[in-house]
Structures are given as C-alpha cells and as structure tokens.
A and B are shown apart, each in its own frame.
Chain A
Amino acid sequence: MSSPRSSSLLAWPATSSSRARRPAASPAERRRVRLRRKLKENLTAYGLLCAALLVFAMFSWYPIVRGVLLSFQQVDFVNAPTWVGFDNFSRLFDDPLFGVAWRNTLLFTGLALVFGFAVPFLTAVLLNEIRHAKAFFRLAVYLPVMLPPVVTALMWKWFYDPGPGLFNSALGAVGLPGGQWLDSSTTAMLSLVFVSTWANMGSTTLIYLAALGTIPGELYEAAELDGAGMWQRLRHVTFPQTRFVLLVLLLLQIVATMQVFTEPYVMTGGGPDDSTVTVLLLLYRYAFVYNDFGSASAMSLLLFIALGVFSAWYVRLTRKADQS
C-alpha cells in the first residue's frame, strides 16, 4: 500500500482493475480511501483549471456584469460612478446618428448577405465540379483571408481612389466612366461591402466546399436515374444536403457583419455624409472620443440584445450537430 507506485495511483478514479489487485480492506476503510482519492482528484483538476477560471472571471464573466452595470451608470474615471437609470439610453435615442448607424449597419448586413452568401456558395458549387488546379483555386480564394484587415482596407482604399486608383484606371482603359466609390454617399456602403466580401469569402467558400464533399454521390446518381436535370439535382440534392451548413454560416455572418468596424474606420471614417457610420463606429466614438462609457455600454447592450437571438440559435445548432 505504501509503495511510491500505489500512492500516485490515489490521484486517479478507482476502477475495477486496480481494485482487484488490492488486498481486502474493511468497507469503512475502503470508503475513506475512496473519499480521499476523490478529493485529491478534484484538487488536481481544479489546480489545472485555476488559470482558466481566473482569466474567464476577469475578462469574460466580470465584464459581462460590468457591462450591464455601466449601461445604467455615468462614468468619468475621476468621480465614483453614479446611477442614472435609463439616461444613457435616452441620450442614444436622442442622437440623430443613432438611427442612421442602425440603418447603415442593417444595410451593410443585408448587402453583405446578398453578396457574401450567394457568391461563396455558387463559387463552392462551381469549384466542386472543377477537376483541375484544385489546389490553386483553394489557395487563391483563401489568400485574402490571411491579409491583416487593415492592410486590406488601406489597399482597397487606394484601389478606389478616383484619380490614379485601380478601378477608375481600368474603367478608363476600356473607355468607361469612372465611379465615385467611397466618395459618394450612395455608393460608399456598397464599396465597403465589396471589400468585406472579397476579404472574407475564402473561409465561407472552403466551408461550403467541405460540406459539398460529404454529399454521397449515390444521391446524385439516383436523382439522375429518376430523370432529374442539373437544376433539379441542385435544388433537390445539393441544397437539402448542405442546408445545415448554409444556415449556420448565415447566422455567423449576420453576427459578424453587424459588428463591422475596421472597414469604415480605416476607409471612410463614417463619411461621406455619415453614410458609413455603423453601430460599432458610433459605439467607438461614444467611448473613446466622447469618453462616455455609459452610453457606449448601453449601445453594446442593445447590440447584444439584437444579436443574442442569433448567437443563441447558433450555439444550439452546433451543439445539436455535435450530438448527432
């Protein structure tokens, strides 16, 4: 019992094989040993967990509570925070930019869904049929994802330049009039959506491609034998078989695009005429330009409420996928 080998066994849960080798002991003694073993095992586990518990407590769980509290407080980091009820919220609602920011964000999300959802899916369906240079296509479409977003934004800002920019130069070369791109309030948001789609479509395309790869070929064969044409096969086999992945990425994209920040911050600063002020850009201004952390937190809370439904839905879906 007291050999070094058996003492290190104490840290582990008792199993039938280890118990069988041990000499008979009284039931009370056995229970005590088991209790001690359980205790030690729990201590080891929490020892390994303590660093994670600490960072989660400090940088996730505590800020969640703090964020809700801040929404109802006035904070200036000099005086103690004071409770102001719903003042922060009413300040937001009185700000004409608040409505503009939400409208712009919804516009961005809507446009990003049209492009960022359809284009990668169709690209994936196309790439799945192509039998040559597969590695090149994957590499090419994913390369922009690896670029730092600030670099992508600065790069495209230069492409969009109405003077020596790439787009107007290319249009001019074939005799077409150039566009205003980022400099007109009607096209600025659309121009940002292009950048974001270009930069991010690599990951969605490859996820769709992976999903398409799991569709059993017999399904297509059977559909063909039943006389289904290509469009019908796409509609009745490809779509239903990838429906789950499509749904999950739809949710993820809504959550991600509603938080758009880097592109408008770097490329337009919210202009022209506030046409690219997004919720997060306004939130950033409230916190780090106006130093109004209370209103900024209230805005976070509203954004969270708006997105919480989608996030919860996403987590539930993935958990269900995990169990099946």
Chain B
Amino acid sequence: MRTLVSPGALRSRRGKAVYGVIFACTLAVFVLAFMFPLYWVITGAMKSPQELAQTPATLIPHEWHPETFGEAWDQLSLGKYFLNTLIVAGGAWLAQLAIDVPAAFALSKLRPKFGNVVLGLMLATLMLPATALLVPTYVTVTDLPLLHLNLINSPTAVWLPAAANAFNIYLLKRFFDQIPDELIEAARIDGAGPVRTLWRIILPISRPILAVVSILAVVTAWKDFIWPLLVFPDTEKQTLSVMLQRVAIDMPLNVLVAGMVLASLPMVALFLAFQRQILAGLTAGAVKG
C-alpha cells in the first residue's frame, strides 16, 4: 500500500539505509518504553526486599526469589480478590448482554412506537461525562427509588449501572441494522416468533459484535477503580484494584509488586488471546474513519 514515503525512495540504497536506522531506533524506543517496564516489574517482584531497597537499583536480580509470587498470593489473599473481581466483571458482562442485546434488537428490528424517542434518551446519556453522575448514582445505589434497597457491598451495584450502557446499545443496533430484513422475513415464514428469531438467527450471525461488546465489558469492569472504590467499603468484598491501592502502603514492596503482576496477568492474557477483537472494538469505539 502506498504511504507517505514513496516506494521509489525506499528502493534506493540511501533509502534502505535511512529506513534501517529509523526502524532500529523505533524498535529500541518501543522496547525501552513498553517492554522494559514490564521486565522491571516482573524481575522486581523476584528480588529480595533488601535488593529492592538498594540504591541504585540492580538491572538483573542478584538472587532470584520466584517464591515471592506464592507469598503475595497468600499474604494478599489474592484468591479471594480474584474471585471478587471475577464476579464483578463477569456479572457486569452478563448483565450487559442480557439487557442490551434484546433492547438493541427491539429498537432495530421491531421498531416500536416511540422507539426513536427511547433511543434518543439513551444516546443522550453519552453526552454526560462519566463522573458527573458519580455522586447521584452513588446516592441512588444506597437507596434505590421505590424499592428502597441498599446495594452497597453487593456486586449488583456494579452490574446494573453497567448495563445502562448506551454505547453498547448503539454498537449493537448499528450491527443489527445491517442484517437484511429478508432474513427475518424468512424466519417469520418458517414460523419463528421474534424471540426465537433473535436467539436462533440474529445472535449466531452477530458473533463479531457480541465479541466486541463482551470484551469491552470485561476489560472496562476489570480496569474500573473509582466506582468499586465507592460501592465496596467492606474490605472483604473489594476488587483487586481497590485492594491493591488500600494495602499499597503497608505491604513489603516485593510482595506488592508480585501482587501487581498477578493482578495484571488475566488482562494481558485476554489481550494476547483476543487481540483482533480488542483492536476491532477500539476502532468501533471511535468513529469510522
């Protein structure tokens, strides 16, 4: 593909040399800026506490202590906090799929009366900066209107607000809009009702967008900090991020760093496994060029 630099210039001997230098420099900068910090953190976790406090820091650990990861797991009760985070993120994911998919389908294919008003009211919430609703949503969650339930310390305090996601509905609706009506017509002639059509016809062909929405949901919930910080005052119920931040000052540095590495692993693994969907979600999240 033709880009800024012309192919002719690249073919010349001088062009090749310049390209080589630029490539090497870029590679070096990227390794230094993005790979090296990860190396530093992973090896830092395996240094002894004395070595970690030493000035200047050592590039390669003199002694290796991989057992620190096990200590961190026990001392920080990581098992419990992983489970908490998994419940919070998994539930947020399920709630978003279960609530937003049928809604987007109804708005896209059933086109009910006032559907456009509903969609408009949902999309209008995108105009609010997330934090503008922080305080009133917190107040709402402590005492749900009409029901008078207090969701503090319950994962539903994360699940339900996460489902009120206009962006998901927008993404899903845009995808459903592209599914030809003939397909639905065919299902109808075969005797399928709307719910069955959604389940049997629409969902299977919507896998790409469902993957994007799913990954966005899980990653957002896993990375979120301020909302879980507010709604889980009970230290036993907290997510990994909130717990790490809370114990950061009292923990020995090597244990804390090992905990940080372990807490990041699932997201890094997810990224390596689903790169394509994640990057597709990224551009879907912005605008079509």
Q: Are A311 and B129 in contact (CB under 8 A)?
A: yes
Give chain B residues whose Cβ lies under 8 Å from the Cβ of A58.
140, 144-145, 160, 164
* Per-residue contact bits, chain A 14-29, to B (CB 8 Å; 1 contact, 0 not): 0101100000000000
Q: Does B201 contact A (CB under 8 A)?
A: no
Q: Does B275 contact A (CB under 8 A)?
A: yes
The one of A70, A206, A224, A315 that contacts B279, using a Cβ cutoff of 8 Å: A206
Which residues from 11 to 46 on chain B have a C-beta closer than 8 Å to any C-beta of chain A? 22-23, 26-27, 30-31, 33-35, 37-38, 40-41, 44
Q: Does A100 contact B (CB under 8 A)?
A: no
Q: Are A140 and B138 in contact (CB under 8 A)?
A: no
Q: Which one, A89-97, A107-115, A144-152, is touching chain B?
A: A144-152
Q: Does A137 contact B (CB under 8 A)?
A: yes
- A293-B135 contact in complex given A56-B122, A151-B263, C-beta closer than 8 Å: yes
Give chain A residues whose Cβ lies under 8 Å from the Cβ of B135.
67, 70, 283, 287, 293, 296-297, 300
Q: Are A255 and B129 in contact (CB under 8 A)?
A: yes
Complex Cα distance, B69 from A158, in Å, reads: 18
The one of B55, B98, B113, B136 that contacts A66, using a Cβ cutoff of 8 Å: B136
Complex Cα distance, B257 from A109, in Å, reads: 29
Q: Does B200 contact A (CB under 8 A)?
A: no
Q: Does B60 contact A (CB under 8 A)?
A: no
Give chain A residues whose Cβ lies under 8 Å from the Cβ of B131.
259, 261, 280, 283, 300, 303
Q: Are A49 and B103 in contact (CB under 8 A)?
A: yes
Give chain B residues whose Cβ lies under 8 Å from the Cβ of A303.
129, 131-132
How many residues belonging to B are interface residues under a CB distance threshold of 8 Å?
A: 110
Q: Which one, B1-9, B72-80, B206-214, is touching chain A?
A: B1-9
Q: Does A129 contact B (CB under 8 A)?
A: yes
Give chain A residues whose Cβ lies under 8 Å from the Cβ of B111.
45
Q: Are B103 and A51 in contact (CB under 8 A)?
A: yes
Question: Shortest CB–CB separation between residue B19 and chain A, in angstroms?
Answer: 8
Q: Are B194 and A48 in contact (CB under 8 A)?
A: yes
Question: Shortest CB–CB separation between residue B27 and chain A, in angstroms?
Answer: 7
Complex Cα distance, B193 from A206, in Å, reads: 42
Q: Are B57 and A63 in contact (CB under 8 A)?
A: no
Q: Are A164 and B55 in contact (CB under 8 A)?
A: yes
Q: Is the interface of B mostly helix, strand, loop or mixed?
A: helix
Give chain B residues whose Cβ lies under 8 Å from the Cβ of A84.
none
Give chain B residues whose Cβ lies under 8 Å from the Cβ of A169.
55-57
Q: Are A137 and B140 in contact (CB under 8 A)?
A: no
Q: Are A283 and B133 in contact (CB under 8 A)?
A: no
Residue of B nearest to A77 (CB): B142
Complex Cα distance, B135 from A18, in Å, reads: 53
Residue of B nearest to A173 (CB): B56
The one of A48, A138, A147 that contacts B105, using a Cβ cutoff of 8 Å: A48
Q: Does A166 contact B (CB under 8 A)?
A: yes
Q: Are A130 and B23 in contact (CB under 8 A)?
A: yes
Q: Does A143 contact B (CB under 8 A)?
A: yes
Complex Cα distance, B33 from A58, in Å, reads: 43
Q: Does A191 contact B (CB under 8 A)?
A: no
Q: Are B100 and A66 in contact (CB under 8 A)?
A: no
Q: Does A304 contact B (CB under 8 A)?
A: yes
Give chain A residues whose Cβ lies under 8 Å from the Cβ of B222.
148
Complex Cα distance, B244 from A159, in Å, reads: 17
Give chain B residues whose Cβ lies under 8 Å from the Cβ of A255.
129
Complex Cα distance, B98 from A55, in Å, reads: 12
Q: Are A230 and B129 in contact (CB under 8 A)?
A: no
Question: Shortest CB–CB separation between residue A41 and chain B, in angstroms?
Answer: 6
Complex Cα distance, B112 from A249, in Å, reads: 34
Q: Are A258 and B56 in contact (CB under 8 A)?
A: no
23 residue pairs bridging A and B, Cβ less than 8 Å apart:
A42-B113, A44-B194, A48-B195, A48-B198, A52-B122, A60-B164, A63-B137, A70-B135, A147-B264, A148-B263, A149-B241, A151-B260, A154-B256, A163-B53, A163-B55, A164-B56, A166-B57, A215-B3, A244-B287, A287-B135, A303-B131, A315-B123, A315-B127
Given contacts A48-B103, A280-B131, 7 further A-B contacts (CB under 8 A): A48-B195, A55-B161, A146-B267, A148-B240, A163-B53, A207-B286, A315-B127
A residues engaging B (CB < 8 A)?
4-5, 8-9, 11-12, 15, 17-18, 41-42, 44-46, 48-49, 51-53, 55-56, 58-64, 66-67, 70, 75, 77, 125-130, 132-133, 136-144, 146-151, 154-155, 158-159, 163-166, 168-169, 172-173, 198, 203, 206-207, 210-215, 217-218, 220-221, 224, 230, 233-234, 237-238, 242, 244-245, 248-249, 252, 255, 258-259, 261-262, 265-266, 280, 283-284, 287-288, 293, 296-297, 300-301, 303-304, 307-308, 311-312, 314-315, 317-318, 321-322
B residues engaging A (CB < 8 A)?
1-6, 22-23, 26-27, 30-31, 33-35, 37-38, 40-41, 44, 52-57, 98-100, 102-103, 105-107, 110-113, 115, 118, 121-123, 125-142, 144-145, 160-161, 163-164, 166, 169, 174, 185, 188-189, 191-195, 198, 219, 222-223, 225-226, 230, 240-242, 244-245, 248, 253, 256-257, 260, 263-264, 267-268, 270-271, 275, 278-279, 282-283, 286-289
